[in-house]
Chain A
């Protein structure tokens, strides 16, 4: 195959052309977003629609972060996302250990009930969860998002953990056991370190889900103190309707952590998202 690749035929040229055109289709809107986040309205609206900014207007960013409150929303999203990852990873690895390693009746059925959760869309529970949160006076809090996000990430997390945990040799645990470790010790000192590659995949998966979620965030949070970045952008674009620069800046701010992560771990991220789909 590798030899054939070197031959330049019309067919190869045709394919490359299509691929390059589609790459431009995929990249151009993002390039445009990046450039208009640094322009002033007069450039965006006519004098320089698609070129690089003549005058690099970094003040769009200070405006989005300050007046637009994006800094706070960014930190809120970061906190909610990290807590969701922490809780989900802990709950999922513990549960997977009990489900795959320990011996008890009903573990198969419990496992399949957990896995059934993958097919449940969040819409199914939005009202009951909202009502319970209001009863507990927990609407407008970080928990209002962290707990549902964790619950909905759990099924996929258990699936990814389980498929990895079966490949860890039991001898390690037995050795640790002879050395006098108790069960929690075995889990903490033997299993969790071995699970690291799976946990990376898992964290990426949960990160994307929690960072990008909109429906729960719109409905459970009305206080700007707890607002996450997706809802923050919605609000910002409502209040800066005619001022595109700061909106563009906000979009870039919400996107760059994801893109930086993607630049470094593109393979891992792709694997993570594909693994989730093709196993389920």
Chain B
């Protein structure tokens, strides 16, 4: 048995399919992306090495619009952390207390998570439709017709209109993560606090939520990196419009790569997205660590 487990040929054969996939599709292409990001290249003519020029250009050249796209991504991230996560936390706390219909509510809130973002985007396109969508129809029916808007076609509302479906789709996901976290906490602590006369709010505030910190950290990281990487929903709803009002880094990247054939700048944007995701994941972890020390 032991000898068999050390057979190098067998080890290699077992690893081979995974290694080929992983190295061929992930590791090597990442380095290729990194290399392309230093080139001035359109994919047809010969490329020239330009050093960090793409990285400088993507922020300084206003026509690329990456600055605004980054701002939009950060707005989405902030809205997710400030609005979506508290809603999820509220539902997780409420449901974890044990309430009639607990399982039913969890299952219902989680439904949108399993549905394709493309479908959800198309559905919300209809919901937002200026003439026949249910939002404007509702506003007209109740006599608030003057508030009816072309939600996705108006630069001042487009970004928020993109956020609402994100909220709608993922509240259930974060809720379930938090709910699972709360359920795995030792019940005795909450019971002890109850015996000591703590109110439900105090138990949540001083016992449940502090213990939930590792899960909250995961949720915050998901909310932020998810916003930085967001593509599907924006592509379906606005594709960055109107007049670039809802552009995000990935939509700019895809346009640079596959519409304008600017492989250099497109790759440098891709690298910037990865870098930002890793950076903010790291910062979030650090934030939660210092929180722990001060608390």
Contacts and interface: CB of A to CB of B under 8 A. Distances in A.
Interface stretch (B10-18, B61-69, B72-80, B284-292): B10-18
B54 to A, nearest CB: 13
A262 B114 contact: yes
Interface stretch (B142-150, B151-159, B203-211, B229-237): B229-237
A1 B36 contact: no
A167 interface: no
Chain B binding surface, main DSSP class: helix
B69 to A, nearest CB: 13
B229 A259 contact: no
B137 interface: yes
Interface stretch (A42-50, A62-70, A194-202): A42-50
A253 B6 CA distance: 50
B122 A97 contact: no
Give the contact-size bracket for chain B.
35 or more
Interface string A60-78: 0000000000000000000
A278 interface: yes
Contact of B123 (A25, A29, A154): A29
Contacts of A128: 28-29, 32-33, 36
Interface in B60-114: 91, 94-95, 97-101, 105-114
A187 B254 CA distance: 43
Interface string B119-134: 1001111110001101
B274 A126 contact: no
A214 B56 CA distance: 30
A16 B99 contact: yes
Contacts of A173: 1
A114 B267 CA distance: 23
23 contacts: A19-B91, A19-B99, A27-B108, A32-B134, A45-B131, A91-B21, A114-B22, A117-B26, A125-B33, A127-B36, A128-B36, A132-B29, A148-B25, A152-B26, A214-B235, A215-B250, A251-B123, A259-B114, A270-B107, A270-B110, A277-B177, A278-B177, A278-B180
A173 to B, nearest CB: 7
A102 B1 CA distance: 10
A143 B33 CA distance: 21
A139 B111 CA distance: 34
A2 B98 contact: yes
Contact of B98 (A5, A219, A237): A5
B45 to A, nearest CB: 15
B114 A183 contact: no
Interface in A74-123: 87, 90-92, 94-95, 97-99, 101-104, 110, 114, 117, 119-121, 123
B30 interface: yes
Contacts of B8: 104
A49 B25 contact: no
B240 interface: no
B6 A120 contact: no
Interface in A198-247: 208, 211-212, 214-215, 218-219, 229-230, 233-234, 237, 244, 247
